[in-house]
Amino acid sequence: MSAGRISILSSDDMERVHESTLRLLNEPGICVQSERALKLLEARGAKTDRKTMRARLPEDLVKETIKLMPKTIRLSARNPKQDMIAPKNGLPFMATNGTGVYVIDLETGEKRTSMGKDLRDLLVLCDAIDSLDYVWPLVTAHDGPANAHGLNDLVIALRSTTKHFQGEAMSGGEAADMVEVGAAVAGGKDALAKRPLFSVVQCPICPLEFEKGSVEAVMEFAKAGIPVVSMSMALCGLTAPVTIAGATAIVNAENLASFAISQMTKPGAPVIYSSESSRINMMTGEIHYGAMEQVFIAAAVAQMAKRYGAPTMVGTFGVGLHGDRPGISSDPGELVFETMTNMTLTDFSSGIGGLDQAKGASLEQIIIDSDLWELIRSMRRDVAFDKEHFVEDLIASVGPGGNFLKVPHTAKNMRRELFLPSNEKAKFYESYRLNRDGKKIVEQARERAKSILRTHRPEPIGADAERRIEAVLGKHMR
């Protein structure tokens, strides 16, 4: 199969990025705000300084890390048919956006603080949409326990969808509780390690710093076999140099440092190389999703990930991220550049349903983004160039000046070879043309979301698992 891929680094360029990364990991090194993690790295050859909480990683430690980390990964789901295995050919697996702080009310259209019921509704809707492969917690449940948002999100997700869930933990203790909840549903800790029903996104603090709670959570998850996505969020001009090369080196260093902590905790712990890096909007100081530079960074770091054999998550997609109301707020250029991040060497992507630079979410936006992603996914497919598909005998039989419309081969293969949506889907796609009424698009999406919520019922988890979950969650509700 052949498919379009964006690569910008030559072999020499990748070697220069690697060499720059090794220098950064040694000087200035990384700041690790955890005595446990510092001791772990020190025992494996890192030079540490307790006053500055600094660790300097030698090249041998980096080499060992790359050797130990697994080169394939399985993200499992309650429904095994929805399991995901990476590396993946073709377009990446797609997820929602994550951890917004407000939601657009489906009935009133007003912006308000998000609650647990909102997260449940959003995830039930995602459970019903085929073009979404896995889910993030689109919003924060503000009525949940203040010290265990990640745990609460996981519980809601396990009850609201059969798809793989990707959350986060803010401490080692919360990570341990999340493992307990996952094990209750999976059938034990060994079963969870074999088929991890959830994974986690644990972000370094760019540049080159690891917060105590997050890094100790990484260690707990490594021991339990829960995949950790080390998402670097370098921003050119703010938390990274304004140069693409400098930002690439920082992203690469943060990922390898996170991998080192996982692998030194437990050799073979599942990890995913990740970046949601871009540049800042120089007028506002906010992250600029859809910037041209986002494509360059994503392409470069994805190549570095594949150089080490790591699964990757660098793609993003969402047409509402530039506005605070449902609809299509991306300008055509931004939409093109953001879509292009999914043509890099990435296995996983995210962003569906997000609003306002990821600060909010809406059910209507999930519908709109998923429709457009399904359209892009259908159009950008792998193309076969083998003897069967050259159909030389068919071309010879039709001959010069002939046509292929009337031959049986065309009717037999057109739906496999050409993008031909159903009549219903064609109407949806037609409604998204740039000159169409944006208000009508949102109204149609709202009615479709309401219809799904009325009729879709995710498969429940068992009563015994529910009792064990309540026991773990109850510790945080007192």
Q: What is the pTM of this model?
A: 0.91
At residue 435, the pLDDT reads 58
The burial class, CB within 10 Å (0-12 / 13-18 / 19+), for 403 is exposed
Rounded to an integer, the average pLDDT of 282-294 is 85
Confidence grade of residue 369 (pLDDT, cut at 50, 70, 90):
very high
At residue 2, the pLDDT reads 47
At residue 211, the pLDDT reads 97
On the question of pLDDT at 399 being above 90, the answer is yes
Q: Is the peptide bond before 207 cis (omega within 30 degrees of 0)?
A: yes
Range with lowest mean pLDDT among 33-47, 218-232, 270-284: 270-284
Confidence grade of residue 434 (pLDDT, cut at 50, 70, 90):
low
Confidence grade of residue 332 (pLDDT, cut at 50, 70, 90):
confident
Rounded to an integer, the average pLDDT of 99-123 is 97
The burial class, CB within 10 Å (0-12 / 13-18 / 19+), for 79 is middle
Range with lowest mean pLDDT among 90-104, 249-263, 425-439: 425-439
Residue 370 to residue 178: CA distance in whole angstroms: 29
Residue appearing with tokens 């910008």: 8
At residue 478, the pLDDT reads 64
At residue 274, the pLDDT reads 98
Judge whether 46 and 61 are in contact, CB under 8 Å.
yes
SS3 for 306-361 is: HHHCCCEEEEECCCCCCCCCCCCCCCHHHHHHHHHHHHCCCCEEEEECEECCCCEE
Rounded to an integer, the average pLDDT of 315-321 is 91
On the question of pLDDT at 33 being above 70, the answer is yes
On the question of pLDDT at 1 being above 60, the answer is no
Q: What percent of the chain has pLDDT over 90?
A: 81
Strand order through the sheet with 312-316: 93-96, 348-352, 312-316, 271-275, 228-232, 198-201, 164-167, 134-135
Domain-wise residue ranges, the chain: 67-379, 387-417
At residue 202, the pLDDT reads 97
Q: What percent of the chain has pLDDT over 70?
A: 97
Eight-class DSSP state of 235: E
How long a stretch of residues is the chain?
A: 478
What crossing angle do the helices spanning 59-68 and 11-26 adopt, rounded to 10°?
120
Rounded to an integer, the average pLDDT of 52-77 is 98
Of 209, 221, 275, the residue nearest 34 (C-alpha): 209
Rounded to an integer, the average pLDDT of 344-370 is 95
What would the two tokens of residue 250 be?
A: 């920082």
Residue 477, C-beta contacts closer than 8 angstroms, at least 6 positions apart: 145
Residue 477 to residue 455: CA distance in whole angstroms: 31
The CATH class, in words, for 67-379 is: alpha beta
Confidence grade of residue 3 (pLDDT, cut at 50, 70, 90):
low
Rounded to an integer, the average pLDDT of 20-32 is 97
Q: Round the CA-based radius of gyration of the chain to a whole number and report it.
A: 23
Phi and psi at 233, nearest 5°, equal -125, 55
Residue 239 to residue 234: CA distance in whole angstroms: 6
Judge whether 158 and 135 are in contact, CB under 8 Å.
no
Residue 372 to residue 378: CA distance in whole angstroms: 10
At residue 397, the pLDDT reads 96
At residue 428, the pLDDT reads 74
At residue 281, the pLDDT reads 86
Pairing label, strands 360-361, 354-355: antiparallel
What crossing angle do the helices spanning 116-128 and 363-379 adopt, rounded to 10°?
30
* Mean pLDDT, rounded, of the chain: 93
What would the two tokens of residue 170 be?
A: 């803010």
On the question of pLDDT at 37 being above 80, the answer is yes
What would the two tokens of residue 124 be?
A: 């039930």
The burial class, CB within 10 Å (0-12 / 13-18 / 19+), for 273 is buried
